[in-house]
Amino acid sequence: MYNDKVMEHFMNPHNAGTMEDPDAVGSYGSPVCGDMMEISLKIEDNVIVDAKFKTFGCGSAIASSSVATEMIKGKTLDAALELTNKNFIDELGGLPGPKIHCSVLAEQAVKKAIYDYASKNGLELEGLKGFDPNAEEDDHHHQVEEE
């Protein structure tokens, strides 16, 4: 069901854990499965110099956040905001269909961390236009209504 690259990142995740004095933290709860992800960032001159993740999510969430944290390191905030869960899945060489939502945790937690940083520092970032930090709740309501 999982390719070798997904298994490798699941067995040996990169950047798992927390950091001291992060410059930004973002957490996101999946409206689909209820799992949580937290991303912490160190930022210098609007460049992400370090990233760590912590998740209660499944193996696909672990693998997705492992590649996500690798991919955002060294990127500017603007460049990191352009990455989506699709980029993380591509980097992993694919995820099974029912596990796509797990990679959304990584994307949203990264976006929320950057949003946190931008709000604290009065930064206007193009990639955050229209970003709603409370979107998970809206999604959730949406889902409940559908059920």
Closer residue to ligand FES, CB minimum distance, 33 or 79: 33
Contact residues for ligand FES, defined by CB under 6 A: 30, 33, 35, 57-58, 60-61, 102, 105
User: Is 33 labeled as catalytic in the residue annotation?
Assistant: yes
**Separation CA 45–CA 53 (nearest Å):** 21
Minimal distance, residue 65 CB to ligand FES, in Å = 10
Catalytic residue among 7, 19, 33, 100: 33
Which helix (H) or strand (E) is 27 found in, with range?
strand 24-29
Minimal distance, residue 147 CB to ligand FES, in Å = 18
One-letter amino acid for residue 77 of the chain: L
Closer residue to ligand FES, CB minimum distance, 53 or 115: 53
- Residue 27 pairs in a beta bridge with 38
In the sheet with 36-44, reading across from the earlier edge strand, the strands are 24-29, 36-44, 47-55
